[in-house]
Structures are given as structure tokens and as C-alpha cells.
Amino acid sequence: MSMSLEELIREVVNEAFSQYEKSIDQALEEGLSRLRQHKSETMERLKNELTIIAREARIEAVKRIGQAELDAKRRYLQAIEELVESVIKESIERVKELKNSETYEKSLEVLMRGAVEAIGGRSFRITCSEDDRERVARVARRIEKEMSVEFSIEPVSLKTIGGIRIMNKEGTVQLDNTIEARLERLRSEIRTMIIKELMT
């Protein structure tokens, strides 16, 4: 059987086309296989990267929350300290206003009597501000008679708003009852009162 030239050409073209289709199908299959493999690897890599990003985001969120909490606590404590300072300043202003009153002199007497009992003994040295020297001397004379003790007022004056510093004759025991020292000792109590007030 002889084939015509046209049939031969058609068969060669069909064969070539068939080979070409097989090559295309094979290339397509290989490409899809690589794509599936690459997709799987890419998805795994993306999943790992997303896990890392999520972990870092959680860590950053915890850090920011922690920092925000620290900032809030710092501002809270700062506000409390400002209130404490305000109370202390107001107390100092009130003492200044009362300084020339009988109430202030009675306060000096209470401070001196308390110091005598706390320190013990019979002879004491007192240091006070220049402004209080006369008042302290007057109160000291009254207490000396009533308690059978002896006071000497130191020639050096204290830089203080008010109050006294008293020590035994030897200078081994001292009690600082100046307004500033007393307010400083009350600082933690003032702070506690402010916190309680803020909590209610």
C-alpha cells in the first residue's frame, strides 16, 4: 500500500504534533509537580514565618502591656508623692501661721516634755531656731520647775521652721523634734492615708 505524499505529510505532522502534545503534557505535569512541591514548601515556610511573627507579636504585646503597667504605676506613685509633698507644704504653711500663737508655745512644751521622758536623765541641751529662742527659754523654765530637770539652750541656731532638737547633756542621745523632721517621719503615714483615701 502506497501512501500518497499528502498522507505521508499528514502522518508526519500528526506524529510530530502527537510528540509535541506529549512533550507539552509532560512539561505541564512536571511543572505542576514542581509547583505542588514548591507550594508545599512555600506554605510550610509561610506557616513557620507566621508562627514566628505571631510569637514575636505576643512577646511585643506582653512587653508593651508590661511597660504600660510600669508607666501607670510610676505615674500613680508620682501623683501620690506630689500629694504627700502638697500636704507637707500645707502643714509647713500652717505652722508658720501659728508660730506666734499660744498653741505653738504649747506644742513646744509638749515636744520638750516628751523628749525629756523619751531620752531620760536630768540635764538636756536644746537647739532651736533664732525665732524660737525666747519661746523655748520660757517653756524650758516652766518645765525645769515642774519636772526638776535642767535645760541649756545651745548658742548655735537651727535653720528650721520651728520645733526643737534636744539631747542629753553628754550628747549621746538626741531627739529631733523640728517641724521638718517630724513631717519627714510622718511622710509614710501621710502616704498611707492618701492611698486609703484614693481607694475609697
Phi (first) and psi of residue 183, to 5 degrees: -65, -35
Q: Assess whether pLDDT exceeds 90 at residue 42.
A: no
Domain of residue 120 covers 101-199
For residue 144, the domain's CATH number is 3.30.2320.30
pTM of the complete model:
0.60
| 195 falls within a domain | yes
| 24 falls within a domain | no
% residues pLDDT > 70 (the chain): 87
How high is the pLDDT of residue 16?
Answer: 63
| 75 falls within a domain | no
| 96 falls within a domain | no
- Tell me the average pLDDT of the chain: 85
Q: For the stretch 155-184, what's the b/e string if a residue is b when 16 or more beta carbons lie within 10 angstroms of its beta carbon?
A: eeebebbbbbbbbbeeeeeebbbbbbeebe
Each residue's pLDDT tens digit, 138-165: 999 999 999 999 999 999 999 998 999 9
| 136 falls within a domain | yes
Mean pLDDT computed over 92-113:
88
Each residue's pLDDT tens digit, 103-141: 889 999 999 999 999 999 999 999 999 999 999 999 999
How high is the pLDDT of residue 24?
Answer: 66
C-alpha cell at 41: 514548601
Residue that wins the pLDDT comparison between 22 and 180: 180
Please count the structural domains in the chain: 1
| 74 falls within a domain | no
| 30 falls within a domain | no
Residue that wins the pLDDT comparison between 55 and 41: 55
Instruction: Kindly give the residue spans of alpha helices, DSSP state H, lying in the chain.
Output: 5-98, 102-119, 133-147, 179-199
Q: Assess whether pLDDT exceeds 60 at residue 1.
A: no
Mean pLDDT computed over 80-96:
88
